[in-house]
Amino acid sequence: MDLGLSDRVFVVTGGSRGLGLACAESLVAEGARVVVVARDQKALDEAVERLGGGDHAVGLPADLADPATAERVVAAAVARYGRLDGALISVGGPAPGTAMTTDDDTWRTAFETVFLGALRVARAAANAMSADPGGRAGVGGSLVFVLSSSAREVFPGLSTSNGLRPGLAMMVKDFADELGARGIRVNGLLPGRVATDRIFALDARYGAPDMVRRRNEAAIPLGRYGEPEEFGRVAAFLLSPAASYLSGALLPVDGGASRSI
């Protein structure tokens, strides 16, 4: 299927590694161009090279906790490529901890980055897509939030994620209601256990990583962790015109692990 992504432009936050990078790779493979955002310049440089260089991607060092980041990133995308068609909003997982052991400063940091940072990018991208340089109103586009299975189910030891991801999931619905009239679709992805450095690090907290992985895989109907590229392809579809009547959806990408509807 042709996803219709050729020459379209997307901002990808958290795009230097893990799920964000996998999404950027899928977009570029379909002919899109991406502005990849992350805090580490070296990781960004490596990601841009992996994505095929400046003809396909540009890296922008920025921290989503900074209130100025969202507008700067969106402006950079429009300045570089002359348009913006959407954003893949991915934020690194917040620090582990329980409800009783996580201190206020950790909560504030997580809220600024995971919650407010994501909302700012969504607002800035939506405004840019609504203000088409050619003067057309409501030209449309697509926003995809990378959330977590913790939006629906509690993950032990990840209380900041358990607290913030469900709120972002409801904001997906809220944004979809408000932006639909502008032709902007808004959806969320709920990744389960996908084989990234983040998941491997979480596994290592609970004992021998290989043993923990085997135990986790036994609870997944497909019997394995997902591969990042499998997640990336789903994200590219959601961002694309091929998903033109899909909005306000929260789609699990977890091998069937979720036990909720």
* pLDDT, greater one: 259 or 187: 187
pTM value?
0.93
CA terminus-to-terminus distance, the chain:
28
Q: What pLDDT digit, counting tens, does each position of 99-112 carry?
A: 999 999 999 999 99
Q: What pLDDT digit, counting tens, does each position of 233-259 carry?
A: 999 999 999 999 999 999 999 999 998
Residue 134 has pLDDT above 50, yes or no: no
Place of tokens 């906790």: 65
Residue 125 has pLDDT above 90, yes or no: yes
Helix, strand, or coil here: 237?
helix
Average pLDDT score, the chain: 92
Angle made by CA atoms 147, 111, 85, in degrees to the nearest 5: 50
How many C-beta neighbours within 10 Å does residue 157 have? 15
Q: How confident is the model at residue 139 (pLDDT cuts 50, 70, 90)?
A: low
Domains of the chain with CATH codes = 9-197+229-250 (3.40.50.720)
Estimate the crossing angle of helix 159-179 against helix 118-130, to 10 degrees: 20
Residue 138 has pLDDT above 80, yes or no: no
Residue 201 has pLDDT above 90, yes or no: no
Token representation of residue 218: 């036994």
- Residue 156's pLDDT is 86
Token representation of residue 161: 């994620």
Residue 199 has pLDDT above 60, yes or no: yes
Token representation of residue 162: 């358990």
Q: What pLDDT digit, counting tens, does each position of 47-98 carry?
A: 999 999 989 999 999 999 999 999 999 999 999 999 999 999 998 777 889 9
